[in-house]
Amino acid sequence: MSSAKLVGESNPSLARGLRALLFRELKKWLKDPVMLVMLVLQPLIWMGLLGKALNIGALFSAHNVNLPQQIPIPGDAVLVPQGLQVVVLNGTKLSQFFAGLGPEIMQSAFGTTDYFSFMSVGMVSMIVVTTTMFSGMSIVWDRRLGFLDKVLSTPVPRAAIIFAKILNATLRALFQATVILALAYLLGLRLSSTFTPLNILGVCAAIFLMSVGLSSIFIAFSMRSTKMERPMQFVALITMPLMFASNTFFPIDLMPSWLQAVARANPLTYLTDAVRQLTILPTDFAALTWDFAYLIAFSTVFAVIGVLLSWRYLSL
Amino acid sequence: MRGDVIRAENLTKVFNRSVVAVDHVSFSVRDGEIFGFLGPNGAGKTTTINMLTTVLRPTEGCAWVMGFDVVKQAKEVRKVIGVVPQEYTADEDLTGYENVMLCADLYGVPRDVARKRALELLELVDLIDFKDKRVETYSGGMRRRLELACGLINRPKVLFLDEPTLGLDVHTRAAIWSYIKRLKEEYDMTIFMTTHYLEEADALCDRIAIIDRGKIVATGSPNELKSSLGGDIITVTIKEGVDVAEVIKGCENVKEVRYENGSYRIKAKDGEATAPIIIEALRERGYTVVKLSLTKPTLNEVFLEYTGRALRDAEESRESFIAHRITLMRARKR
């Protein structure tokens, strides 16, 4: 064939294709500063309003348990041993006692006395989920606008197309989550005594695992949706239950048992717990190991399924 | 079959087991020619291109590009073809140069070669002054030219152009045509293109296949197709309100006479010579010719002849409709 020379000339490689496609996505992202600000602003508002408004810690303060100075207890309410003496409780002391209970209740339920710290870490998980899914959605546009077909007509390895999407989603999620975490720190997140800067790497690893698994499966499905609105509706539908049926905003142990079952299957629970263990809680290594084990399993299974589904769709 | 750059045999695509988009299409494209698929939207042109460019798997039939099977040797096919899709696929947030380099990366053109070639191509399509501007700021014509440059970065032996001037104004279209001709000469390629613009097929293509409802109804060079209609169209109006069809039919070379909207539509061979004969015959019988026109057949007549209707768009799916609107929107941008 006269084309022999030409065939030799193009030498498509996975690494180069992946790099090119990934850079395209990241450039698009970085060239839109308004979008960047919006993406940070949204969780910031959530965190600032919800985290500060739901001041659960304050529920148990002396201010809330405001008892009168003297509380006479009617005779028939208690056994009265001697005569007709009325037992009088010291309200002020009692208030102080209740107020002292507050931090203890917080500590045992949330693991920390500061609800804002608790929920802002939850926010990090949430941002991982939404960013991952929104980034994955770009494949729908690529398909609609003919870009995907164009890429498919080139000899670039199909894996490059899929991995570029997954990596794009993951890198964005990592970036957003880091920004949120930094902002939370500025807004008053209290780091635990066991925190070292090295823990940040652990946080990134956990986010990476979550994001890779989630984006793989989400991209595989988005790719197939003929309607642009579908993935959008799916995200809107799934985000809420995913967040609330987990330990993102509230400890699982206090949930009804059926919800506990759901929350314990929810990978978001493990991401959130892993990040909490590494930042605001004194690290419990057994729990942390279990979190990572779960995240690795989740990530592997979903990534494999997702990549295979995408692969099948993109192959001729 | 040697010398055929593209060959398709009974190429068929059925969507969802019921919608036959391309129906047992067979054709071959010779080395160095511009071969056009002419037909309305929804006739199966893009589907055919998608099969030939290894994006879609044919439901039935086979096709070869440069001797490579489009299914079994898809990878080889991809290396030797260039594709300029109907949509504007260049990334709006990247610059023209970045877009061409992105394509180079996808094809795996060696970096140093790619850099040189990207500039050369941008020069050829007159975008060199805008190479560092974001594509967002480009006009429809500029975007088309950029797509052409992207499609040529791997020096393809075969270039596929899907509706290369869709939505562009007449002026820009003519310009794009000259760019296509220039690029073809420069790079010595075979071009397979689709269009639903008759003038475009006429101006650019060496050979045309007319496709309608997934089937090829006629193939030939524009001139062959036109002359296959059997002659020119002469339209005559006379002053008198009498039927003179028989008189006209009696003239030499006249093949068919129809009375339409107050005038006679005559199909005749060698129109230039026949027209005076008709005028003479009518005058001899005392009729006055008030108007006469001579039309060489266009592809429009050809299309009408073979499909029984004017070239109009078929139904589109909602998805392709939206993609289409976006393409048109971008095309119209100045």
Which residue of A lies nearest to B109 if distances are taken between CA atoms? A10
pLDDT of residue B21: 92
What's the angle, vertex CA A222, arms to CA B140 and CA A212, rounded to 5?
Answer: 115
**Secondary-structure percent of chain A, ordered helix, strand, coil, rounded to 5:** 75, 5, 25
pLDDT of residue A7: 43
pLDDT of residue A9: 64
pLDDT exceeds 60 at position B1: no
Size of interface A-B (CB pairs under 8 A): 115
- Check CB contact under 8 Å for B154 and A316: no
User: Hey, is the C-beta of A15 within 8 angstroms of any chain B C-beta?
Assistant: no
pLDDT of residue B2: 47
pLDDT of residue B178: 92
pLDDT of residue A93: 75
Mutate which: B51, B107, B133, B189, vs A, most A CBs within 10 A: B107
- Check CB contact under 8 Å for A146 and B85: yes
Looking at the partner chain, which of B66, B86, B107 has a beta carbon nearest the beta carbon of A146?
B86
Q: Mind listing the pLDDT tens digit for each residue in B264-312? A: 888 888 888 888 999 999 899 888 889 998 888 888 888 887 887 777 6
User: Hey, is the C-beta of A10 within 8 angstroms of any chain B C-beta?
Assistant: yes
Mean pLDDT by 10 residues, chain A (316 residues): 47 91 89 79 80 73 66 61 64 74 79 84 89 87 89 94 95 91 88 90 96 94 82 86 89 91 94 94 93 97 95 88
Looking at the partner chain, which of A7, A32, A150 has a beta carbon nearest the beta carbon of B83?
A150
**Nearest to residue B135, comparing CAs of B126, B123, B147?**
B147
How do B190-195 and B158-162 pair as beta strands? parallel
As a whole number of angstroms, the distance between CA B94 and CA B334 comes to: 18
- Check CB contact under 8 Å for A32 and B88: no
Q: Mind listing the pLDDT tens digit for each residue in B126-151? A: 999 999 999 999 999 999 999 999 99
**Nearest to residue A3, comparing CAs of B148, B67, B82, B192?**
B67
pLDDT of residue B332: 67
Question: Which residues pair with residue A72 across a beta bridge?
Answer: A88
Looking at the partner chain, which of B56, B78, B94 has a beta carbon nearest the beta carbon of A24?
B94
CA distance A311 to chain B (A): 13
Residues of chain B in contact with residue A154, where contact means CB-CB under 8 angstroms, are: 78, 83, 103, 106-107
Q: Mind listing the pLDDT tens digit for each residue in A220-242? A: 999 888 777 888 888 888 888 88
Q: The complex's ipTM?
A: 0.81
Q: Which amino acid is present at A313?
A: Y
Q: Mind listing the pLDDT tens digit for each residue in A263-301? A: 999 999 999 999 999 999 998 999 999 999 999 999 999
pLDDT exceeds 60 at position B105: yes
Which residue of A lies nearest to B114 if distances are taken between CA atoms? A10
Residues of chain A in contact with residue B149, where contact means CB-CB under 8 angstroms, are: none
- Check CB contact under 8 Å for B93 and A155: no
Tell how many helices (H) and how many strands (E) occur in chain B: 12, 14
- Specify the 3-state DSSP secondary structure of A11: coil
Looking at the partner chain, which of A10, A21, A145 has a beta carbon nearest the beta carbon of B79?
A10
Q: Please identify which residue in the block is written with the tokens 């440059």.
A: B149
How do A87-90 and B60-65 pair as beta strands? unpaired
- Specify the 3-state DSSP secondary structure of B80: helix
CA distance B53 to chain A (A): 6
Residues of chain B in contact with residue A10, where contact means CB-CB under 8 angstroms, are: 79, 107-109, 154
If pLDDT is split at 50, 70 and 90, which confidence band does B160 have? very high
As a whole number of angstroms, the distance between CA A180 and CA A185 comes to: 9
As a whole number of angstroms, the distance between CA B176 and CA B188 comes to: 17
Mean pLDDT of B237-248: 85
Residues of chain A in contact with residue B85, where contact means CB-CB under 8 angstroms, are: 146, 149-150
Is residue B235 within 8 Å of residue B293, measured between CB atoms?
yes
Do B4-225+310-332 and B230-296 come out as alike in CATH topology?
no
Is residue B174 within 8 Å of residue B15, measured between CB atoms?
no
User: Hey, is the C-beta of A85 within 8 angstroms of any chain B C-beta?
Assistant: no
Looking at the partner chain, which of A20, A150, A156 has a beta carbon nearest the beta carbon of B85?
A150
Q: How many other C-beta atoms are found inside a 10 Å radius of the C-beta of residue B67?
A: 18
Q: Give how far the C-alpha of residue A264 lies from the chain's centroid of Cα atoms, to the nearest Å.
A: 15
- Check CB contact under 8 Å for A155 and B78: yes
Looking at the partner chain, which of A1, A19, A147 has a beta carbon nearest the beta carbon of B67?
A1
Residues of chain A in contact with residue B79, where contact means CB-CB under 8 angstroms, are: 6-7, 10, 12, 155
Q: State the CATH architecture for B230-296.
A: 2-Layer Sandwich (3.30)
Residues 41 through 70 of chain A touching chain B, CB cutoff 8 Å: none
- Specify the 3-state DSSP secondary structure of B81: strand
**Range B218-223 contact pairs with CB under 8 angstroms and sequence separation of 24 or more:** B218/B302, B218/B306, B219/B27, B222/B299
- Check CB contact under 8 Å for B108 and A16: yes
CATH 3.40.50.300 applies to domain B4-225+310-332: yes
**Nearest to residue A267, comparing CAs of A129, A135, A143, A155?**
A129
Q: What is the mean pLDDT of chain B?
A: 88
CA distance B120 to chain A (A): 17
User: Hey, is the C-beta of A16 within 8 angstroms of any chain B C-beta?
Assistant: yes
Global confidence as pTM: 0.83
Q: Please identify which residue in the block is written with the tokens 């028989």.
A: B246
- Check CB contact under 8 Å for A153 and B103: no
Q: Which amino acid is present at B87?
A: E
Q: Which amino acid is present at A79?
A: L
How do B19-30 and B4-15 pair as beta strands? antiparallel
Q: Is the dihedral of CA B292, B293, B297, B299 positive or negative?
A: negative
Domain boundaries, chain B: 4-225+310-332, 230-296
Looking at the partner chain, which of B53, B102, B156 has a beta carbon nearest the beta carbon of A20?
B102
**Nearest to residue B138, comparing CAs of B154, B124, B125?**
B125
Q: Please identify which residue in the block is written with the tokens 């080395």.
A: B31
pLDDT of residue B333: 67
Strands across the sheet with B60-65, in order?
B19-30, B4-15, B60-65, B68-69
- Specify the 3-state DSSP secondary structure of B162: strand
- Structure tokens that stand for B220 in this block: 């030939």
Residues of chain A in contact with residue B75, where contact means CB-CB under 8 angstroms, are: 155
- Check CB contact under 8 Å for B89 and A145: yes
Mutate which: A3, A14, A148, A229, vs B, most B CBs within 10 A: A3
Q: Mind listing the pLDDT tens digit for each residue in B34-74? A: 999 999 888 899 999 999 999 999 999 999 999 999 999 99
As a whole number of angstroms, the distance between CA A73 and CA A217 comes to: 63
- Structure tokens that stand for A290 in this block: 């279990």
How do B207-212 and B232-238 pair as beta strands? unpaired
